[in-house]
């Protein structure tokens, strides 16, 4: 524990030194300290009654008329693998140059694509830490070293070009799959291109991504005579073509995304587990009386081949079932709904939200309630839960051990 405290103090000192180094350069600095009690730890190990401590800090400084520095980092202690090990993440640390019509960013940065509500088929660039004690989706994002260039094209729109290093997501099953052999992957340099148009009635974009999937997949290991020997874990090469759009019709906001996800073979062998598919979502949202909002979305995946189990040995059947669950591939066409309802009360001092997601074919679902109370400008209380239900051979059913409840107090500086 003493070692962990030393690590935490050293990391905090590094963070808080950022504004000191540029005190005369119009520095903006924000930080928060969160202490929470959790019923579980998000890594499927059935541990209960854990205490989480987290620090998030960000700083920005103008270094010159057209150059700006942005730094964003998180530190947390959350009992998972080895007690209270401290984990740190430098989410962003980039220099930004602003020209007359061009913006250039160099350094670790977060890039988020898509216009749908939280389920974004076109968003394949940025990794997430799904095992962290951060309860806000955006805080789970993990930046990666990148060079991005954005060019304004006048009324035509905006063109963005990106080259970055691969950084994987952390998933709840990672610790349980360490015994599986890790398969090598291709070059870790990723590329992306996006054209974005903003109009009076319709906003839309088209995008392309060439890199690696961010959340691991399982694949079959084959030996002589095409005999299946086992399963491996790793990150499949991915090319994604996407379109997205958003429009307002009366009191309704309409949003949608469609992506073609194509998993490629690698120089080390064929991709045998992750299936190429179409992935889409369409939905509507509206404002309701009493500072409330509501949305509903329909999503689907359509695979190029059927993930069917039949006419195989019992040993191969068990492996393929494991792949179906891990890779969320159960039917040629699988679909579902997401719903969200939220409201702000008492001059925004209290806000709550209920989010749900259901897969129609397997009947598994997730429910996520959240409520927060702003006690003052510097103290906020939060409570909520993540509930996963379904049969064992379903996506949400396979992670139902990650059903947790939590209560937190946040100190804002």
Cα 37 from chain centroid? 23
CA distance 2 to 309: 52
Computed over its alpha carbons, how large is the radius of gyration of the chain? 22
Q: Is the pLDDT of residue 219 over 50?
A: yes
Q: Is the pLDDT of residue 24 over 70?
A: no
How big is the CA angle at 295 (ends 291 and 297), to the nearest 5 degrees? Answer: 170
Domain count, the chain: 1
Tens-digit pLDDT profile for residues 329-374: 999 999 999 999 999 999 999 999 999 999 999 999 999 999 999 9
Whether 69 is covered by a domain: the verdict is yes
CA distance 380 to 270: 51
User: Can you tell me the mean pLDDT for 10-27?
Assistant: 52
Mean pLDDT of the chain: 90
pTM over 0.85: yes
| Percent of the chain residues topping a pLDDT of 70 | 91
Whether 34 is covered by a domain: the verdict is yes
Whether 341 is covered by a domain: the verdict is no
Tokens 């400084």 found at: 61
User: Can you tell me the mean pLDDT for 178-185?
Assistant: 90
Tens-digit pLDDT profile for residues 307-335: 766 667 777 888 888 899 999 999 999 99
Tokens of 166: 């691969």
Whether 1 is covered by a domain: the verdict is yes
Q: Is the pLDDT of residue 15 over 70?
A: no
Whether 185 is covered by a domain: the verdict is no
Whether 408 is covered by a domain: the verdict is no
Q: Is the pLDDT of residue 145 over 80?
A: yes
Q: What is the pLDDT of residue 309?
A: 61
Whether 229 is covered by a domain: the verdict is no
* Domain coverage including residue 2: 1-92
Q: What is the pLDDT of residue 349?
A: 97
| pLDDT tier, 16 (very low <50, low <70, confident <90, very high otherwise) | very low
CA distance 218 to 211: 17
Whether 207 is covered by a domain: the verdict is no
């Amino acid at each position: 524990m003493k070692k962990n405290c030393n690590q935490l103090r050293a990391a905090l000192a590094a963070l808080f030194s950022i504004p000191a180094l540029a005190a005369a350069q119009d520095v903006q600095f924000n930080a928060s300290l969160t202490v929470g009690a959790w019923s579980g730890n998000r890594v499927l190990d059935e541990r209960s009654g854990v205490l989480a401590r987290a620090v998030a800090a960000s700083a920005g400084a103008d270094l010159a008329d057209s150059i700006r520095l942005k730094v964003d980092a998180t530190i947390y202690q959350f009992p998972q693998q080895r007690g209270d090990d401290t984990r740190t993440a430098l989410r962003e640390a980039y220099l930004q140059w602003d020209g007359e019509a061009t913006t250039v960013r160099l350094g670790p940065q977060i890039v988020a694509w898509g216009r749908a509500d939280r389920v974004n088929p076109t968003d394949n660039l940025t990794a997430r830490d799904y095992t962290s004690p951060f309860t806000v989706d955006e805080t789970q994002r993990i930046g990666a070293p990148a060079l991005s260039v954005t060019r304004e094209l006048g009324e035509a729109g905006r063109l963005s070009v990106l080259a970055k290093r691969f950084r994987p997501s952390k998933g709840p099953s990672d610790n349980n799959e360490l015994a599986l052999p890790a398969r090598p992957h291709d070059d870790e340099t990723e590329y992306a291109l996006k054209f974005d148009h903003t109009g009076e009635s319709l906003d839309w974009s088209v995008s392309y991504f060439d890199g690696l999937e961010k959340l691991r997949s399982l694949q079959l290991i084959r030996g002589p005579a095409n005999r299946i020997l086992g399963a491996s874990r790793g990150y499949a090469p991915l090319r994604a073509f996407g379109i997205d759009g958003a429009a307002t019709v009366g009191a309704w906001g309409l949003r949608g995304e469609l992506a073609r996800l194509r998993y490629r073979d690698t120089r080390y062998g064929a991709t045998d587990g992750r299936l190429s598919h179409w992935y889409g979502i369409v939905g509507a949202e509206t404002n309701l009386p009493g500072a409330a909002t509501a949305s509903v979305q329909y999503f689907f995946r359509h695979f190029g081949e059927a993930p069917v189990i039949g006419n195989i040995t019992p040993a191969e059947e068990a492996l393929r079932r494991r792949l179906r669950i891990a890779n969320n591939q159960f039917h040629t066409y699988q679909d579902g709904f997401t719903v969200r309802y939220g409201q702000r009360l008492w001059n925004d001092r209290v806000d709550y939200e209920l989010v749900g997601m259901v897969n129609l074919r397997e009947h598994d679902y997730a429910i996520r309630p959240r409520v927060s109370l702003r006690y003052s400008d510097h103290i906020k209380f939060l409570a909520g839960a993540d509930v996963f239900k379904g049969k064992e051979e379903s996506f949400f059913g396979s992670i139902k051990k990650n059903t947790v409840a939590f209560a937190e107090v946040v100190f804002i500086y």
